[in-house]
Amino acid sequence: MSDATPQGLIESRLRDLYLDWSNLMATKELDMRLFRSIFDEWHQPTVEPEGVSYKEETVGGVPGIWAFPEGADRSKVMIYTHGGGFAVGSASSHRKLAAHVAKAVGATAFVLDYRLAPEHPHPAQVEDGVAVFHALVERGIAPESITTVGDSAGGNLAIGIALALRDEGAPLPGAVVVFSPWLDMENAGETLVSNDATDALITVPLLEGMIAGRLGGGTSPDDPLANPLYADLTGFPRLYINAGSLESLLDNATRLHERASAAGVDVVLNITPGQQHVYPFLAGRDPAVDAELRAIGAWLGA
C-alpha cells in the first residue's frame, strides 16, 4: 500500500486555507492589523525547503529576507515581490516559497517587505522594487543576472519593476517570472465570473477594496505601471507566466500572454488544471508543483 498523500488532499491544503480566510472575512470585521496577521499564514501549505539558510537585511532602504540555498550561485539573484493585494502578505509569509523557487533555479532570493497600501499607495511598491534592483547592481550583480519574481499582486510588481526601469532608461532584469499575476485594476476579466464558483479566495468585493487602497484615488486604473495590461511590452525581458485553471484571475495571465506575444516578447504560459490561485505555495508537497519549479529553473538556464 502506498503511503503517498492523495492528490486531492494535497490540493486541499491551499484551498482549505483560502476557505478559512474567506469564512473569517465574511463573518468578522477585521482591522488592518488582524487582516495582515491572518494572511501571514500563507506559508502554511509550503514545506520548509531543505538546505536553505535565511538572513534578514535591508537592501536599497527596503527590508526583507534573503534565502540562500546551499550551493547557489550568489551572482544570480531573484527579487521576490510577495502577493497580498498590495496590502497584506510579507517576506515572512513568502520566504519558503521564494526559497523553493531559488533552490530550483540555483540562485539566491531577496524577498521584499515593500511598503503596503493603503498607507503607501502606488507607486510606492514599485519604487521599493526599483530601489532594491539598483542596490544589487551597485553591489556588483549584473542586471541580466537578476530575475524579478512575484505572485498575485507581487506578479504585477515584478512586471512593474521592469517597466519602471525601462522608463528610466536603466538596464533591465534578465527575466521576469509571475505566478497567478493580478494585473487588472478595472475588474474587467471574464474569469471573475466564469471561475467564481471554483476560486476559493478571490471575490470582486475583496479586489475592489484592495484596488481602492492601492490606487489611493490618485492613479487611474489604466495607468500602465499600475495595470500592466495597458503597458507597451516591446523590448520586455523574457517572461514566464503560470496560473491555476480554477482561479478567478486566470484571464489576467492569458491576457498578459497575448499582449506579450503580440509585442514579440519571449514568453511562456503554463495553466495547470485543477489548481487554485498561486498554487506554487504547495511547493515541497505537490510533485507537480516541484516539477513546475524545475521547469522554470531549466527555462531560466536556457
Q: Name which of 47, 12, 6, 9 is nearest 200 in CA terms.
A: 12
Give every strand in the sheet of 73-81, ordered side by side: 52-59, 62-69, 107-112, 73-81, 146-151, 175-179, 238-244, 267-272
pLDDT category of residue 55 using cuts at 50, 70 and 90? very high
Catalytic residue IDs: 152, 247, 277
The H or E element containing residue 60 is none
When pLDDT is averaged across residues 261-279 and rounded to a whole number, the result is 97
Amino acid symbol at 61? G
pLDDT of 155 over the 60 cut: yes
pLDDT of 1 over the 50 cut: no
pLDDT in tens, 193-227: 999 999 999 999 999 999 999 999 899 999 999 99
Look up the pTM and report it.
Answer: 0.96
Integer-rounded Cα radius of gyration of the chain:
18
When pLDDT is averaged across residues 156-182 and rounded to a whole number, the result is 98
Strands 62-69 and 52-59 turn out to be antiparallel
For residue 97, give every residue at least 6 positions away whose Cβ sits within 8 Å of its Cβ, in sequence order, or none.
43, 46, 151, 280, 281, 283
pLDDT of 189 over the 90 cut: yes
Q: In this predicted structure, what is the pLDDT of residue 3?
A: 44
How far out from the chain centre does Cα 168 lie?
23
pLDDT of 25 over the 80 cut: yes
Phi, psi of 170 (to 5 degrees): -90, 160
Contact 134, 60 (CB under 8 A): yes
pLDDT category of residue 2 using cuts at 50, 70 and 90? very low
How far out from the chain centre does Cα 277 lie?
10
Amino acid symbol at 27? T
**What whole-number distance in Å separates Cα of residue 232 and Cα of residue 221?**
16
pLDDT of 264 over the 70 cut: yes
Contact 284, 50 (CB under 8 A): no
pLDDT in tens, 111-151: 999 999 999 999 999 999 999 999 999 999 999 999 999 99
- For residue 142, count other CB atoms closer than 10 A to its CB: 13
Phi, psi of 98 (to 5 degrees): -60, -40
Running DSSP on this structure, what letter comes out for residue 4? P
pLDDT category of residue 286 using cuts at 50, 70 and 90? very high
